[in-house]
A and B are shown apart, each in its own frame.
Chain A
Amino acid sequence: MKKKIISVVSAGALLCSMLTGCGSSAGGSGDNGELNVFVWTEYVSESAIEAFEKESGIKVNMSTYSSNEDLLAKLKSESKGAYDVILPSDYAVEYLIAQGNLEELDKDRLTNLVNIDETYLNEAYDPGNVYTVPYEGGVACIAVNTSKVDKEITSYADLFDPSLEGQIVVLDDYRAVIGMTERSMGLSMNETDPATLAEVEEKLLSLKNNIKLYDSDSPKSALISGDCSVGMVWSAEVALSMEENPDIKIVYPSDGAYVFLDNWAIPKGAKNYDNAMEFINFMLSAEAAQMNISDFPYLCPNTAALELMGEEYVNNEAKNVPAEVIESGEFVSYLDTDTLAIYDDMWTKLKQ
């Protein structure tokens, strides 16, 4: 028995020393402090982060979220100062400003702001860009695998067709899916009237049989692998899946798309404000923006980066979302608690 115990202990000690060894070997940079970045999954390029770490000597800890609601929940539950940089969409920015939860940006240090196309500045959710600067944007559009689907799909409304049973991957994001349903009925994505919402619910539940998978993080995986042949997903996810599988085609819905614009911001009480400013300015540079859109080809407000990417990118309508799609689309806005409870119940019913 004793022998057995000794061998266990020595093996344990061996394991420990092995592990503490690898624990300390990692993490080279970080001489100039840290930066806790909280961004969307599959949205910010690893190479851009590495380039920033190299240039600044700041160690970046990146965490990811799958929806604006996840971001807001985390900001609320974590202690103040847990994150230094966040990447909320339009309506989440509106909410965070209303709650007084963002730090003002020091504009003097954003020397690269000149790279941003003015059409994307001064949006209604943050007039004068006091708290945020735009990163990338896009729409929730439709992906169709033409080798598997005969039906012609041109709008959100077409997704409700019974012939698509068990074939669709949709975003695991209730504002996007319910918003899409509202658009398909000719309504606004921000309906609040309970009677109208009851109709929306009925329509939404008719989508249930068509949905195979809910995935916000990487819906392209299911499209590429062929698990799903139709998708209601973020535009760049379609663009990326098209590169892997040429049968996939992008469709901008004729009923007016869900449009989003994501923005860099610094939450109130951030511990590394200076590093955060340096990071945001770096991300606005043409080179960083180029790395980001190369990996995640969304609508890019950074004109300098677009120049670097050249004609091919600008003319690729899956990547560089056409201006008329954006114009005919709609932004989501923040809803009151009672309405959100209705949305939440709808979503729960859909997912049961």
Chain B
Amino acid sequence: MAGKRSKHEFRANTLPALLTVGPVTLVMVLLIAVPLIYVAVMSFCSIDEFYNVTFDFTLENYVRLANTDYLKIYAQSLIIAFLTTIICILIGYPFSYIIARTKSRKKRILYMLVIIPFWTNSLIRIYGWRTFLGSSGLLNALLIKLKIVSEPIEFLYKQGTTILGMVYCLIPFMILPLYTAIEKLDGSLLEASSDLGAKPVNTFIEVILPLTSGGIFSGSLMVFIPCLGYFFVSDILGGGNSDVIGNLIERQFQSGNNWPLGAALSIILIIVTLILVKIYQKLGGDMDSLGV
């Protein structure tokens, strides 16, 4: 009797559960959990004279990374990410507001126009900026022709150019959640607020902003975190002068040839990410909205 019942239980519940959740579990455990644990272990390893990883426990990698020089780069990286996020909000918010509140059917076209540029390879778009901003680039040629300047202006290879590139790469991640949040706003609520005599500024601060804060938070998270890792942007536009944490990691896995050090850097980056995600959740952010 009991055997029959458990067989039924197996067919009704265990088997379908296994078939549906099995594959995703396998992938997540083998290709996410195990590699990350391995990286964590590696961050406590050393290297031998030929740069092979040897498994004797050491804290040396972390000691090296606690050095003020590394701390300066983390700070620089966080500043770049912070400025990028702020700029994305300042541009993205009014922009999303305008297109989301457009009444005509032009709205969806306006929305698609935001997405289309991002179907072109991101590297080549960044390189497009380099071509445009260079000393002999189009912008300088234009400025000289218009007699605004006599000598080309040096735009490239500065921290500002890196931030420009980051904003460019990441702004859709700000615009899209904001657009969704603003679109959900109930128009009658805004009318009510203004009917009650609230100034537009007050309506904005007291009604609109709190209702769209979810979009701002998830947008900020999706801009801030990738910014710490986008090494190619600072490579192409920053000329190697404004490294982010991603550059440090990339270097240790390539020319630096010190995987344990790179692993330790990655662990630091993971910790920073986790802290940011925790803050996001504290602010009431919804994790699922990040991936949709």
Contact = CB atoms under 8 A, between A and B. Distances in A.
B is a partner of A: yes
Interface stretch (A24-32, A53-61, A190-198, A344-352): A344-352
A89 B76 CA distance: 34
Nearest to B156: A227
Contact of B256 (A76, A213, A344): A344
B49 A69 contact: no
A214 B239 contact: yes
Contacts of B76: 352
A213 B239 contact: yes
A226 B241 CA distance: 18
B50 A99 contact: yes
Interface residues of A, number: 33
A337 B255 contact: no
Interface in A131-182: 166, 172-174
B258 A348 contact: no
A215 B130 CA distance: 14
Contact of A211 (B48, B52, B241, B248): B241
Given A172-B240, A213-B239, A213-B240, A348 B69 contact: yes
Contacts of B273: none
A69 B254 contact: yes
A72 interface: yes
B172 to A, nearest CB: 21
Given A226-B152, A227-B154, A351 B51 contact: no
Interface string A323-352: 000000000000011000100110011011
Chain B interface helix/strand/loop/mixed:
loop
Interface in B100-126: none
Interface string A80-103: 000000000000000100110000
B64 interface: yes
A337 B47 contact: yes
Nearest to B152: A226
B154 A174 contact: no
Contact of B135 (A95, A227, A349): A227
Interface residues of B, number: 34
A206 interface: no
A345 B136 contact: no
Contact of A351 (B50, B157, B241, B258): B241
A73 B257 contact: yes
A70 interface: yes
A76 B52 CA distance: 8
Contacts of B136: 225-227
A171 B241 CA distance: 13
Most chain-B Cβ atoms within 10 A of its Cβ — which of A211, A226, A227, A349?
A227
Contacts of A66: 255
Which of A66, A74, A344, A352 has most chain B Cβ within 10 Å? A352
B56 to A, nearest CB: 14
B73 A348 contact: yes
Contact of A212 (B48, B52, B152, B157): B157
27 contacts: A66-B255, A69-B254, A69-B257, A73-B51, A73-B255, A73-B257, A76-B51, A98-B50, A166-B154, A173-B255, A174-B255, A212-B241, A213-B240, A213-B241, A215-B240, A225-B134, A225-B136, A226-B135, A226-B136, A227-B157, A337-B47, A341-B258, A344-B258, A345-B69, A348-B248, A349-B69, A352-B243
